[in-house]
């Protein structure tokens, strides 16, 4: 399986938006986090992220097929934030997210830290990030009675 990242442009916005909705819709239905779930975002939000001068979206390409995306934001030049990252449901659980994180970290060797947040109740996500060297910061944010965001950080 050939996995690579390609910097997204505005021309990719619709495709990224469609995958984002497909990837996050099951979580929206499960947790009812209507105000924070990326499935409820607009395409304008995707375009804003693509064009952000302090980061951007990277397409996750598997065997020349767009299967997801990872968005990063540089904070203070050397501290990076990942959000969102998503993969089409049919491609989840195949090691693609793990490889995408490795690739994005390699693209920015100057980084001294990486941070992200995920849903605490999604144990597979938490396991992935811990396996990749991310440590729980202790910060949690209740989104509703069903959902808690938990924050992770990796210091290099």
Q: Give the domain extent around 67.
A: 3-155
The domain tally of the chain equals 1
Give the number of other Cβ atoms within 10 Å of residue 86's Cβ: 24
Give the number of other Cβ atoms within 10 Å of residue 154's Cβ: 19
Q: Which of 46-50, 72-76, 105-109, 151-155 has the lowest mean pLDDT?
A: 72-76
Mean pLDDT for the chain? 97
Query: Model-level pTM?
Result: 0.96
At 62, the pLDDT band (50, 70, 90 cuts) reads: very high
Report whether pLDDT(75) > 90. no
In angstroms, the CA 12 to CA 47 distance is: 9
CATH of the domain at 72: 3.40.630.30
Q: 39-71 as b/e, with b when 16 or more CB fall inside 10 Å? A: bebeeeebbebbeeeebbbbbbbbeeebbbbbb
Report whether pLDDT(77) > 90. no
Give the pLDDT confidence score for residue 24 in this predicted structure: 98
Give the pLDDT confidence score for residue 38 in this predicted structure: 97
> Residues 117-136: pLDDT tens digits?
999 999 999 999 999 999 99
Q: Where are the strands (E) in 11-126, listed by range?
A: 55-62, 65-75, 79-87, 113-119
Tokens of 68: 């997801």
């Amino acid at each position: 399986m050939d996995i690579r990242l390609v910097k997204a442009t505005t021309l990719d916005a619709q495709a990224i938006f469609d995958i984002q909705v497909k990837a996050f819709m099951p979580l929206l239905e499960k947790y009812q986090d209507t105000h924070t779930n990326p499935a409820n975002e607009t395409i304008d939000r995707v375009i804003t992220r693509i064009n952000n001068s302090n980061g951007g979206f990277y397409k996750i390409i598997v065997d020349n097929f767009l299967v997801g995306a990872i968005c990063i934001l540089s904070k203070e030049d050397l501290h990076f934030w990942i959000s969102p990252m998503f993969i089409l449901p049919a491609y989840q659980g195949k090691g693609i997210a793990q490889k995408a994180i490795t690739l994005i970290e390699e693209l920015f060797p100057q980084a001294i830290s990486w941070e992200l947040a995920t849903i605490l109740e999604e144990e597979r996500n938490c396991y992935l990030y811990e396996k990749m060297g991310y440590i729980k910061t202790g910060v949690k944010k209740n989104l509703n009675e069903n959902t808690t965001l938990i924050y992770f950080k990796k210091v290099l």
